[in-house]
Structure 1
Amino acid sequence: MSRWSILKDGEKSNSLSNEDLLPIKQEERTWKAVNFASIWMGCIHNIPTYATVGGMIAIGLSPWQVLAIITIASLILYAALALNGHAGAKYGVPFPVLIRSSFGVYGANIPALIRGFVAIMWFGIQTFAGSTAINILLLNIWPGWGNIGGEWNLFGLHLSGLLSFVFFWAIHLLVLNHGMESIKKFEVWAGPLVYLVFGGMVWWAIDIAGGLGPIYEQPGKFQTFEEAFWPFVGGITGIIGIWATLILNIPDFTRFAKSQKEQIRGQFYGLPGTFALFAFASITVTSGSQVAFGEPIWDVVDILAQFDNPFVIALSVITLCVAAISVNVAANIVSPAYDLANALPKFINFKRGCYITAMIALFTVPWKLMENETSVFSFLGLVGGMLGPVAGVMIADYFIIRKRELNVDELYKVDGQYTYYKGYNYRAFLATLLGAFISLIGFYVPAFKGLYDISWFVGVFVSFVGYVALMRLHPPENAAVSTEYEQKVASK
C-alpha cells in the first residue's frame, strides 16, 4: 500500500491517519546533522537543566564528579535516542504511529497521550519560568511595571506577571507558524545564540573566583567510593530523567532525517559534545559563585541579579527566553501535537495539535502549580517514570521482535497485523506496568529506595525483558503473518 493509497482509503485516513501522520516521502526528508545538533543545543541550555547541574554542586558533589556525571548521562542518553530514533529515520513515521507496532493501533493512544500530558504540563511550567525573566527585564527598564494593576491578581499572579506570561506564551505561537519547518529554522540559530549568555556567565565566574584553579580544586563532601556512589548514580538518573520523555518521541524528529547517518551524527554532536560544554559552563558559574560568596548560586535568575549593567541583563534575559522557547518547542509541543493528531486524526492535524497544546498549557495555571514545586515535580517525575518502561517496550519490539523490519502499511489498518486484540496488545501494557511498578516502588517503600534511585534503568530493563518474554511465551495470533512479512522484506 503506497502513501497515496492510504490517503485515498476513507476508513483508514479518518480513523488512523491524516496527512501529518503518514510516512514522510524520501525527498521531503531534509534534516541534516546540523539540524539535530541545533535541536539539542537549544534543548540543553535552559534554566531547569542549569538548576539540576547547579543543584548537584549544592548537595556536595565536586565539580569533577558532576562533570563525570554529565558525560556518562549524555552518552547513555545519546545511545537511547539513536536507537529509538532509528525507526523514525528508516520509515518516516512519527512516535504515536510507530508505537502501534507494540501497543496496538488503538492501544498506542494511551502511552502517547500520557506523554502528551506530561509535555503540556512542562510547557506551562517552562513558559512561566521564562516569563519571570521577562518580568525582571521589564522591572529594570521600568520600575513602576510591578505596580500596574494595583492589588488585582489572577489566582495570586499580579497583572504585570500575567501580562509577561501571556506575552511570552504568544511568542511560541509565532515560532509554530509554519509547523516543523519553522521549528527547524528557529532551532538552527536559537541553539548557538544561547552560548552568548552562558559564555558571559563563565567569564564572570572565572573573574570573581580568580581563575579556573580555585573553582575546580574545590573538594566534594563525598570522599570515599561508598559515600559518592549513590549520589553519583542518582545524578546520572536525574539527568536522564529530564530527557527520558524525549527518548520516546525522538522519531517525531528523526523521521525528517535525510539519512540514518545524519540523525546519528547530529545527535552525537548535539548531545555529548554540547552537554559537556554546558556542564562546564554550569559547574564553573555555580562553583565560581561558591568561591566568591561562600555558597553556590544554582539559580541562573539569581546569577543575573549579580549584574548591574542593564545591557547585560537585557541580553541575558532575551537569550534565556530564546532557550526556554527552544526547549518548549522541541520537547513540549511537537510530541503532544502528534499525539493529539493520532488520537483524533479526522479533526486534528499537526499544526492544530500545536495550537491546542498551547491553549491547554495556558490554562494549567503554572504559577499556582509552582507554589509547591516539590509536589508538582514529584508528580510529574512519577508520571514520567511510567514512560521509561515504554521506551524499553519500544526498543525491544523494534530490535528484538521485529528485527528492525516493520510493515508500514499495516500500521494504518484497523484490522491488520498490529491490531492484536481489538487494537490493544496486552503484552506491552503488562510489561510497562511491571517495569513502572518495580522502578517506582522505592518512592513509597524505603527498603527499595535503591531501585528508585536508578528508576529509569530499572524500568527500561524490566519492561524490555518482560515484553520479549511475553511475546515469546504467548505470541499474537498474527505472529506468523509478521514473520512472513519480515522475512520477505529482509530478502529484498
Structure 2
Amino acid sequence: MEPKNFSPSLSNTDLLPVKPEERNWKAFNFASIWMGCIHNIPTYATVGGLIAIGMSPWQVLAVILVASLILYAALSLNGHAGAKYAIPFPVFIRSSYGVLGANIPALLRGFVAIMWFGIQAFAGSTALNILLLNVWDGWGTLGGDWNLLGLHLPGLLSFLLFWGLNVLVLHHGMESIKKFEVWAGPLVYVVFGGMVWWAIDIAGGLGPIYAQASKFQSFNELFWVFVASVTGIIGIWATLILNIPDFTRFAKSQKEQIKGQFWGLPGTFILFAFASITVTSGSQVAFGEPIWDVVEILKYFNHPFIIAVSVITLCMASVSVNVAANIVSPAYDLANLFPKWITFKRGGYIAAFLSLLTVPWKMMEQSTSIFAFLGTIGGALGPVAGVMFADYFIIRKRTLEVEDLYKLNGKYTYYKGYNYRAFVATAIGAFVSLIGQFVPSLKYLYDISWFVGVLFAFVTYVALMRLHPPAEMAMNESKKSLIQKSV
C-alpha cells in the first residue's frame, strides 16, 4: 500500500511500506540472519566473560537459554508490526512518539548502532591483523612506535581495511544483505567446531571442562549475578529488538518471521554458547586462566592454513552481524531524519564514517568494560522498547493507520508532532534503570537495567495515555460512549 497525500518531509522510497512483490523473506532468511549475528567475536567475549567472572559452564548455559528465550519473545513481538504493515522501525515508532518526536529515539538507537559498528569492525580487524602477521613478516613492525590512541599502525590499517569490507556489502543494498547472510552464518560453524575440537583435546575431554565448579555456591550469591548476566546478554541485542521491523517488513508472512526467529533463537544461541564455553573453559583447564578473546585463541594454532581459514570465517561473521545489526538501523534512522536528502545507502555511508570517530579498541580491552557498556545500552534502550510494546499491543491493539504515519496532520501528530507521554515514560524508565550506576545502594536496579527500563516505561506510558489521552483518542472514546448510551 502506498500512502496518499503523505508529507515529503516524512517519506522517501526507502521509508514507504514494502511492496507486496518485494516481501519475499522466508523463515530461513530470518534464521540465517541470527546465525550470522550471534556468531561473532564480541558475543564470544561476552559469553567467555561469564566464565571469567566465576560462573560454571552449566550456569552460563542456563544464562544463555533464559536470555535467548526472552530475546525471542521480544523480537517476535516487536517484529509483528513490521510484518503486518511492511514499515521500518523509524516509521513504526511514530505511532508512539509522534511523527516528529520519533526522530529522537531513532537517533538514540542509531547512535548506539554506530558505536557497535565500530566495536564489531575493530573485533573483525584483530582477526585480520593476525592473518597479515602470518603472511607478512614485517607487518607487525610497520610504523615503529607510532600509535593512534594506543593503536599501532598495523592495527589501524587492519581496522580501516575491515571497515571498508563492511561498506562494500552495504553498497549493494538490503537484497545483498539477505543473500550474504544465507551463506555467511553457517560457515562460522566450521571454525567454532574446530576450536571446540581443539579445546576438548587440550583439556583432556569434555569431562574436565564441564566439571569446573562455580565460585557462587549459594542461591543468594548466584541469583543477582545470574539475572545481571541475562540482562547483559540481552543488552547486546537491545538495539536489534527495537529495529527488528526493518527486517520483518520484508517477511512473506507473519508466520515466516516468527518461525525464522525461533529457528535462529534460541537454538543457534545455545550451540554458539556451547562452543564459546567449551573453548573458554578448555583454555582455563589447560592454561590456568580463561581466554575470553577468540582472537587470542588463534595464536595457539601454528598451521598457517588453519589460521587463514579461521580468520577469513571470523571476518565474514563480523561483517555479517555488523551490516545486519549496526548499519541497517542508522541508515533508516538518518533517512527518516532527512528523507529529502538521505536515502538508505547514504544513511549507511554516513553511519559507517561516524563509526571511524569512535575508539572501539578501548571498549574491547577488558570483558568487564563490555558489560558496563551493555548495561548502559540496556538502561537507555529498554524504556524505548517498553513504550513501543505498550503503544502497539495495549493502546493500539495491533491496529495502525498507516497513512497517518506519513502525515504532519494525522492522528500521530499529537502536539506539534511530539507525544510528551512517550518521552516522560522513557525518561522515568531510563532514570530508574540507570540510577544504580550513581547510587551504590541501588546498584541492583542497574544490574537488571533492561528489564527495569521496559517495565517502568511500559506502565508509565499506559497510565499517561489513559489518564490524559490525546485529543483524537478522547474524542473517539466520547463518541463510543454516546453510541452506547443511545443504544
1:311 aligns with 2:301: no
Q: Counterpart of 1:363 in 2: which secondary structure?
A: coil
Match of 1:96 among 82, 90, 93: 90
1:206 aligns with 2:205: no
1:118/1:384 contact within 8 Å kept: no
User: Following TM superposition, by how much is the alpha carbon of 1:366 offset from its aligned partner in structure 2, in angstroms?
Assistant: 3.6
User: Letter of the aligned partner of 1:462 in structure 2?
Assistant: F
Give the alignment's TM-score, normalised by structure 2: 0.95
User: Following TM superposition, by how much is the alpha carbon of 1:364 offset from its aligned partner in structure 2, in angstroms?
Assistant: 2.7
Q: Counterpart of 1:233 in 2: which secondary structure?
A: helix
* Partner of residue 119, structure 1: 113
Give me the whole-angstrom Cα distance separating, in 2, the residues matched to 1:419 and 1:432. 18
* Partner of residue 137, structure 1: 131
User: Following TM superposition, by how much is the alpha carbon of 1:27 offset from its aligned partner in structure 2, in angstroms?
Assistant: 1.8
Give me the whole-angstrom Cα distance separating, in 1, the residues matched to 2:40 and 2:381. 22
User: Following TM superposition, by how much is the alpha carbon of 1:379 offset from its aligned partner in structure 2, in angstroms?
Assistant: 5.5
* Partner of residue 322, structure 1: 316
Alignment of 1:14-93 (within 5 A): 14-93=8-87
2:383/2:457 contact within 8 Å kept: yes
Alignment of 1:67-466 (within 5 A): 67-367=61-361, 378=372, 381-466=375-460
- Comparing 371-380 with 410-419, which one deviates more in the overlay? 371-380
User: Following TM superposition, by how much is the alpha carbon of 1:368 offset from its aligned partner in structure 2, in angstroms?
Assistant: 6.0
Give me the whole-angstrom Cα distance separating, in 2, the residues matched to 1:71 and 1:237. 12
* Partner of residue 4, structure 2: 5
- Comparing 319-328 with 473-482, which one deviates more in the overlay? 473-482
1:407/1:485 contact within 8 Å kept: no
1:118/1:380 contact within 8 Å kept: no
Q: What do the CA deviations read for 1:143-194 (whole angstroms, capped 9, x no partner)? A: 2112233444444433322221111111112211221101000111110011
1:392/1:464 contact within 8 Å kept: yes
- Comparing 423-432 with 282-291, which one deviates more in the overlay? 282-291
User: Following TM superposition, by how much is the alpha carbon of 1:359 offset from its aligned partner in structure 2, in angstroms?
Assistant: 1.4
Q: What do the CA deviations read for 1:421-461 (whole angstroms, capped 9, x no partner)? A: 00000000000111111111111111111111111111101
1:244/1:384 contact within 8 Å kept: yes
Give me the whole-angstrom Cα distance separating, in 2, the residues matched to 1:297 and 1:370. 14
1:385/1:436 contact within 8 Å kept: yes
* Partner of residue 484, structure 2: none
Give me the whole-angstrom Cα distance separating, in 1, the residues matched to 2:359 and 2:431. 30
User: Following TM superposition, by how much is the alpha carbon of 1:479 offset from its aligned partner in structure 2, in angstroms?
Assistant: 0.8
Give me the whole-angstrom Cα distance separating, in 2, the residues matched to 1:269 and 1:365. 35
How high is the sequence identity, in percent, across the aligned residues? 76
Q: Counterpart of 2:138 in 1: which secondary structure?
A: helix
User: Following TM superposition, by how much is the alpha carbon of 1:227 offset from its aligned partner in structure 2, in angstroms?
Assistant: 1.5
User: Following TM superposition, by how much is the alpha carbon of 1:387 offset from its aligned partner in structure 2, in angstroms?
Assistant: 1.1
Q: What do the CA deviations read for 1:390-409 (whole angstroms, capped 9, x no partner)? A: 00000100000000000000
- Comparing 96-105 with 131-140, which one deviates more in the overlay? 131-140
Structure 1 residues 280 and 366, CA gap change in structure 2 (3 angstroms): closer
User: Following TM superposition, by how much is the alpha carbon of 1:212 offset from its aligned partner in structure 2, in angstroms?
Assistant: 1.2
Q: Counterpart of 2:275 in 1: which secondary structure?
A: helix
Give me the whole-angstrom Cα distance separating, in 1, the residues matched to 2:373 and 2:285. 35
Give me the whole-angstrom Cα distance separating, in 1, the residues matched to 2:427 and 2:233. 23
User: Following TM superposition, by how much is the alpha carbon of 1:328 offset from its aligned partner in structure 2, in angstroms?
Assistant: 0.6
User: Following TM superposition, by how much is the alpha carbon of 1:375 offset from its aligned partner in structure 2, in angstroms?
Assistant: 6.6
User: Following TM superposition, by how much is the alpha carbon of 1:308 offset from its aligned partner in structure 2, in angstroms?
Assistant: 0.8
Give me the whole-angstrom Cα distance separating, in 1, the residues matched to 2:194 and 2:186. 14
- Comparing 135-144 with 80-89, which one deviates more in the overlay? 135-144
Give me the whole-angstrom Cα distance separating, in 2, the residues matched to 1:380 and 1:361. 18
Structure 1 residues 140 and 473, CA gap change in structure 2 (3 angstroms): same
Alignment of 1:472-487 (within 5 A): 472-480=466-474
Q: Counterpart of 1:234 in 2: which secondary structure?
A: helix
Give 5+ residue unaligned stretches, structure 2: 481-487
User: Letter of the aligned partner of 1:442 in structure 2?
Assistant: G
Structure 1 residues 296 and 383, CA gap change in structure 2 (3 angstroms): closer
Give the alignment's TM-score, normalised by structure 1: 0.94
Q: Counterpart of 1:5 in 2: which secondary structure?
A: coil
Give me the whole-angstrom Cα distance separating, in 2, the residues matched to 1:271 and 1:190. 17
Give me the whole-angstrom Cα distance separating, in 2, the residues matched to 1:375 and 1:222. 21
Give me the whole-angstrom Cα distance separating, in 2, the residues matched to 1:71 and 1:370. 25
- Comparing 420-429 with 166-175, which one deviates more in the overlay? 166-175
User: Letter of the aligned partner of 1:74 in structure 2?
Assistant: S
Give me the whole-angstrom Cα distance separating, in 2, the residues matched to 1:189 and 1:355. 24
User: Letter of the aligned partner of 1:223 in structure 2?
Assistant: Q
Q: What do the CA deviations read for 1:50-72 (whole angstroms, capped 9, x no partner)? A: 11111111111111111011001
User: Letter of the aligned partner of 2:313 in structure 1?
Assistant: T
